[in-house]
Amino acid sequence: MKNKRQQEICNIIRTYEIDTQTALASMLKMRGFDVAQTTVSRDIKDLQLVKVPTESGTYRYTLPDAASARPGEQAEIFEKHIVRVQPGDGLVIIRTVAAAATIVAQAMDCMGDKRILGTVAGYDTVFVAVSDKATGAELAKEFSVFAARDRQ
C-alpha cells in the first residue's frame, strides 16, 4: 500500500501544484487513500520532496532529480547510470555507477510499471522486486539496453 500511495504522490505532484501537506492528503483521499497527516509527512520525507518556487510566486512540492523526470528523461537517467543488469528469482539486480542506485531506484519507482513491485537501493546496486522469474527476465532484458557497456 505504501508503494502505491507513494507512486500516486509522484503522479499528483507532477500534475498539480501542491503546496501543503493538507492539500496532498486531500488529493490522496480523493483517489481512495485513507491517509493521516503523519502518513503524508512520512511519505514526503521518504520521497525527499522539496518545495520549489512557482512562476506565480508561490511554492510547490516536487521530487528531487530522477523522480520528477518525464519518461524520456528517465531513459536518460538509466543510460547515464546503469552499468549491468542481471535477472534473478523474482528480482532484477541492477548495478549502477558509484552512488547512483538511489536516483535509478527513484526513477523506477515513479515509472508506474505494474511489473515492478518495489525497489531497494544501496550504494551502487538496486534490487527490483518482481512477481516471478519470467517477469524478472523480461524486465532485465528491457533495462539491459541502458547498460553503459564501456563502464563494465
3-state secondary structure the chain: CHHHHHHHHHHHHHHCCCCCHHHHHHHHHHCCCCCCHHHHHHHHHHHCCEEEECCCCCEEEECCHHHHCCHHHHHHHHHHHEEEEEEECCEEEEEECCCCHHHHHHHHHCCCCCCCCEEEECCCEEEEECCCHHHHHHHHHHHHCCCCHHHC
- pLDDT tens-place values along the chain, 152 residues long: 787 888 889 889 888 999 999 999 999 999 999 999 999 999 888 887 888 888 888 888 887 665 455 566 778 889 889 999 999 999 999 999 988 898 898 888 877 788 999 999 999 999 999 999 999 999 999 999 988 555 54
Distance CA 4, CA 34 (A): 12
- Asked if 91 and 42 sit in the same domain, the reply is no
Q: Are residues 72 and 59 located together in one domain of the fold? A: no
Question: Within this chain, do residues 137 and 75 fall inside the same structural domain, yes or no?
Answer: yes
Interatomic CA distance for residues 85 and 145, integer angstroms:
9
User: What CATH number is given to the structural domain containing 8?
Assistant: 1.10.10.10
Nearest to 61 by CA among 23, 108, 34: 23
Identify whether residues 87 and 120 lie together within a single domain. Answer: yes
User: What is the domain range of residue 92?
Assistant: 68-151
Give the pTM. Answer: 0.59
